[in-house]
Amino acid sequence: MAKQRRPKFKKDARVGLFVSCTTNLFRPSLIKAGVHLLEKAGYIVEVPPLQNCCGLISLRSGEPEDAKDMAKQVISQFGHYDFVGVLSPFCAAVFDRAYPSLLGEQSEELATHANRFRKSCFEVSDLVLASPFALKALSEFTGSIAFLDVSGEPNLFGSQVSSRLLLGQMKQAHIVDLPQICASQVDGAPDGTISPELGSKGLDGVLRTVRSCGAGTLVSTDLALLMELSSHLRKFGSAIELRPVLEVLAGDLGSMPIGISARAMAGQSLF
């Protein structure tokens, strides 16, 4: 198993927060949580407006030329920051694994830019964990939390992703580790470009595990996956709250759980 890359903390380092397409459209509260955690951890955070897609959608659609154009735009917009904080693990994988290969096909100069860029890119939780102020950034959540890890390769020794390690530092929280979901390689894309592909068999197993875990809150690193799970869990009448892990780490429990409307939370009829 490849050793996980970790950042080296730099106080007052400038971090450009990369917002995924899904987050921007469906969960702006996740952006707020990411900014809160990074600032509490000692970084200077900026959220550039009008951000471009990372290119994963184009790669999944078999359009690598479009993905190359998007890569150039992203690097142009974020290449001057000390770090790029990424909200989606799948966007982070595209930056790390796909960009050098995609742009290296065009020129050696672009390959150099892509490699320099990838070294600055980390998930938000990676940057927070690297900080000596990490504990000050975390909320005092009390209760049972089920953690669903999504990774490109299995880990027989339990999840070592930074968000799980940060959850373990929340003294009042009891963490229930659910079986890991292994994301699949995107066909035709550079090696290491991953996307969650549950399929009906995988989905059934995840749903059974979630429904029997006994936790009141389910968290994961990927918003799109949580949105997909919420639609299936509601069909079974599951009351478990689904939230992005960064929101729980930041203590933002005021936002609606994924898949539940404000009217439903208030106990009002939806009809």
Lowest mean pLDDT among 83-97, 135-149, 198-212, 246-260: 198-212
Asked if residue 263 has pLDDT above 80, the reply is no
Predicted confidence at residue 268, as pLDDT, reads 41
Helix (H, G, I), strand (E, B) or coil at 121: strand
Residue 111: left if φ>0, alpha if ψ -120 to 50, beta else—which one? alpha
CA 149/CA 151 separation, integer angstroms: 6
Asked if residue 91 has pLDDT above 80, the reply is yes
Asked if residue 26 has pLDDT above 80, the reply is yes
pLDDT above 70: percentage of residues in the chain: 91
Region 229-234 average pLDDT: 86
Q: What is the pLDDT of residues 150-191, one digit of tens each?
A: 877 777 677 889 999 999 999 999 999 998 887 888 888 888
Predicted confidence at residue 206, as pLDDT, reads 84
Predicted confidence at residue 201, as pLDDT, reads 55
Q: Please, is 60 exposed, middle or buried when counting C-beta atoms within 10 Å of its C-beta (0-12, 13-18, 19+)?
A: middle
Instruction: Categorize the per-residue pLDDT at 265 as very low, low, confident or very high, splitting at 50, 70 and 90.
Output: very low
Lowest mean pLDDT among 73-82, 90-99, 252-261: 252-261
| pTM of the entire predicted model | 0.90
Predicted confidence at residue 36, as pLDDT, reads 96
Lowest mean pLDDT among 117-126, 217-226, 232-241: 232-241
Region 147-151 average pLDDT: 88
Tokens of 258: 């994924």
CA 243/CA 114 separation, integer angstroms: 32
Region 132-150 average pLDDT: 92
Predicted confidence at residue 224, as pLDDT, reads 87
Instruction: Categorize the per-residue pLDDT at 61 as very low, low, confident or very high, splitting at 50, 70 and 90.
Output: very high
Asked if residue 98 has pLDDT above 80, the reply is yes
Q: Please, is 40 exposed, middle or buried when counting C-beta atoms within 10 Å of its C-beta (0-12, 13-18, 19+)?
A: middle
Asked if residue 86 has pLDDT above 90, the reply is yes
Mean pLDDT of the chain: 88
Cα 136 vs. chain centroid, distance in angstroms?
21
Region 185-209 average pLDDT: 78
Q: What is the DSSP string of 7-37?
A: PPP-TT-EEEEEPPHHHHHH-HHHHHHHHHH
Region 246-255 average pLDDT: 93
Contact 207, 173 (CB under 8 A): no
Instruction: Categorize the per-residue pLDDT at 236 as very low, low, confident or very high, splitting at 50, 70 and 90.
Output: confident
User: Phi and psi of 214, rounded to 5°?
Assistant: 80, 0
